[in-house]
Amino acid sequence: MNVNRVVVVGAGLAGVRSVEALRARGFGGRITLIGQERHRPYDRPPLSKAVLLGSADSSFVDSDLDALEVDFRPGVSAKSLRAGVVETTEGELGYDGLVIATGAEPIPLPGDGPQHVLRTLDDSLELRARLVPGARVVVAGAGWIGAEVATAARRAGCAVTVLEAGRTPLAQAVGEEIGARTESWYDGIDLRLDTMVASVDEGGVELVGGGFVEAHVVVAGIGVRPAVEWLAGSDVDLHNGVVTDERLRTSLPGVVAVGDCAAWWSSRYGTRLRVEHWDTALSAPEVAAATLLGEEAVYDPVPYFWSEQFGHMVQYAGHHPAGERLLYRGGPEGKWSACWLTAEGGLAAVLAVDRPRDLVQGRRIIQEGRRLYAERLVDPDVPLRDCVV
C-alpha cells in the first residue's frame, strides 16, 4: 500500500522517534503528530531524578520538529479510531498510516484526599514544590518510581514513609530475593512492607486492616496502565495494551504501535512483552516506521532499563522469567550483580548494581545467546565476558 499521510498519536519519546524514523527512511509525505500534553516531546526518566531533585527544570527531546516538517498539534487528544480516520478533540484526521504511541498513565490510589502521581513534567514540577524540609511524605509503592521519589524526598529533607504491599521493595519487578537486597537502601526512611493503602484522605492515608499515616504529601507509585481507552470499540486488538506482531503491526491494517502502550510478540522469548521503559520507546519506532513503509523488519530486542535510587545505579537487561537459577556476583553490602541462568546455562537476564561493565557485557552475552560457566560467574573479580563457555 502506498503511504502518503501518517498520523502519530502520542507525542512522547516513542511518538517523536517515530516521526524521526519515518523521515530518516525517506518518507516525504505528510506527518501529523498529536499529543494530549501542551508541551513539545520530552524525556520522562529525568522527571523522577534531575527535575525532582531540582538540578534541571525540563527534559525536552533534542528534536527539531520544524526541520522534520511535522504538523505538531499539542493539546489535542485522540478520542476514537476507525479504519482510515482518527477522531480527535479538534475534528477528524484521515490517515493511510497510523502510529499508536499513547504510552501509559499512572494508576491513582483510592480515596478523595489529595494525591500526586508522577508521569508528566507538570506532575514533577508540582511535586518538587511540595518536597520541602520537614514535610511528611508518604509514597505508596516501593517499585522503580516509588524508590526514586523516596530518594528525592529524603534528599530534600522530608520525613519519608514508603508503604509497599509486597514483602520487599521491587518484588513485583524483579522478585523478592533481589528486592530484599535493596531494603537496607531505605536507611532513614520508614519503610513498611506488607502494607496497603485503603484510601487517601484529608491529612494522610488510611491503611488496609486499620491505621492512619499522616502526610502533607501523598504520592502514588503503584504502577501504570496502557493509555488505550480511546481505542475501545475500534478494530485494534487490545489485551494488556495494543496487541502487535513481531513487526509491530496491530490487527488493523496500516496501523502500528510502539512504546509503553504496545504488547509485541517477542520471537526471542516466545511470548508477548509490554515493556514500560525508555529504551523500548527509543528503539521500537525504527521497526514501526520500516513496517509502515512496507519494509521487512522485526522488533526483537533484549529489553533494557535503568533506575537511579539511593545513590545506586541499577541496570537491567534481559527477561528474567526465562531464567531458572539466580546467582550473585558480590555481596549485598557493596556493588553487586544478579544473573538469571536458563536451564541450558545461558544468561536470561542480568541486574547490575553499580557494576555497569556487568550490564554491558551481560547484555551482549544475552544478545548472542552464549552460555556461561556458573562457577566462574560467581566470582565478581572475573569479568562476565570471561565466563562465556
Please give the residue ranges that form the binding site for ligand FAD (CB under 6 A).
9-15, 34-37, 44-45, 47-48, 77-78, 101-104, 118-119, 145, 227, 230, 259-260, 276-279, 281, 305-307
Residue 181 CA to residue 171 CA, distance in Å, equals 11
Closest approach, Cβ 87 to ligand FAD, in A, equals 10
Q: Which is nearer to ligand FAD, 100 or 347 (CB)?
A: 100
Q: Report d(CA 358, CA 140) in Å as an integer.
A: 31
The dihedral over CA atoms of 171, 318, 50, 120, expressed in degrees to the nearest 10, equals: -80
Nearer to ligand FAD, 45 or 332 (CB): 45
CB of 134 to ligand FAD, least distance (A): 24
Closer CB to ligand FAD, residue 7 or residue 377? 7
Q: Which is nearer to ligand FAD, 178 or 372 (CB)?
A: 178
**CB of 262 vs ligand FAD, minimal distance in Å:** 8
Tell the smallest beta-carbon distance from residue 187 to ligand FAD (Å): 21
Please check whether residue 163 is in contact with residue 138, taking contact to mean a CB–CB distance below 8 angstroms: yes
Rounded to a whole number of angstroms, the minimum distance from the CB of residue 234 to ligand FAD is 12
Nearest residue (CB) to ligand FAD, 179 versus 259: 259
Per-residue H/E/C for 348-381: EEEEEECCHHHHHHHHHHHHHCCEECHHHHCCCC
Q: Rank residues 291 and 346 by Cβ distance to ligand FAD and give the closer one.
A: 291
The strand ranges marked E within 132-282 are 136-140, 159-163, 190-192, 197-201, 204-207, 212-214, 217-220, 224-226, 242-243, 255-257, 262-266, 271-273
Closest listed residue to residue 182, CA positions, set 217, 148, 131, 224: 148
Distance in angstroms (rounded) separating the CA atoms of residues 22 and 84: 19
CA distance 217 to 132: 10
The distance of closest approach from Cβ of residue 93 to ligand FAD in the complex, given in angstroms and rounded to an integer, is 11
Return the bridge partners of 30, or none.
5
